[in-house]
Amino acid sequence: MDRVRQPKTPKKLIPVIRDEDTKRLLDGCRGRSFVNLRDEALIRLYYSTGARLSEVGNLMLDDVDMNTESVRFHGKGSRDRRVRFGPETARAFSRYLRARAKRRGADQVPNLWLAERGARPLLPNGIKVRLKRLGLAVGVDGVHAHRWRHNFAHEWHRAGGDTGDLMLLLGWTSEDMPRYYGASAAAERAQESQTRIRIGERV
């Protein structure tokens, strides 16, 4: 067995969801209905925090702090962390929370996200199905929450962000994860450098 070579497993780059696709999804949520406001807040939170499907889906009302524009995520291994979100997400949250407060029986449900009908929570699996349907409606394939997590890490690496800070924000304990997620950013930077070199050769 010492002489047998281990098979090489192919390493694929992490697929990211581009900003233009996120914009198309947000455009598909335009409107003043409860569902429109909820879906916009969901998408913006995934985009601005890079949180896991379950972390966003299992949020309670008490986890949201509008004063600091932040949420408390309950991560893997019972590790909580507080993450801030941007002003656009804050505005989307404010609109959703006002609409939520008007729902009959909503004050009896501790979960942040409510289903379209009745005072029932919208759980992670329901969010997964909803995101897929939104993607199909606007022509964006393969929409799921983890792609925004990929995108968050990708853009963080492209901007030269600190790996330790990224681990704290995304709730990672192993440095293998940021290296894995950073591969796509490294490949993109290499392609951009190659393009600049080629342009220089033509001058």
Residue 17's pLDDT band (cuts 50, 70, 90): confident
Output the pTM of the full model.
0.77
Query: What's the rounded mean pLDDT across residues 68-73?
Result: 95
- pLDDT, one tens digit per residue, over 154-188 is 777 777 777 777 777 777 666 666 666 666 555 45
- Interhelix angle for 34-49 vs 19-27, to 10°? 170
- Is CATH 1.10.443.10 the right assignment for the domain spanning 19-144? yes
Residue 197 in this model has a pLDDT that exceeds 80: no
Domain range annotation of the chain: 19-144, 155-202
Q: For the segment 23-50, what is each residue's pLDDT rounded down to a tens digit?
A: 999 999 999 999 999 999 999 999 999 9
**DSSP symbols for 80-143:** EEEEE--HHHHHHHHHHHHHHHTSTTGGG--BS-B-SSSS-B--HHHHHHHHHHHHHHHT-TT-
pLDDT at 19 over 80: yes
* pLDDT band for position 196 (cuts 50, 70, 90): very low
The 3-state DSSP class for residue 158 equals helix
Higher-confidence position of 98 and 197: 98
On the question of pLDDT at 1 being above 80, the answer is: no
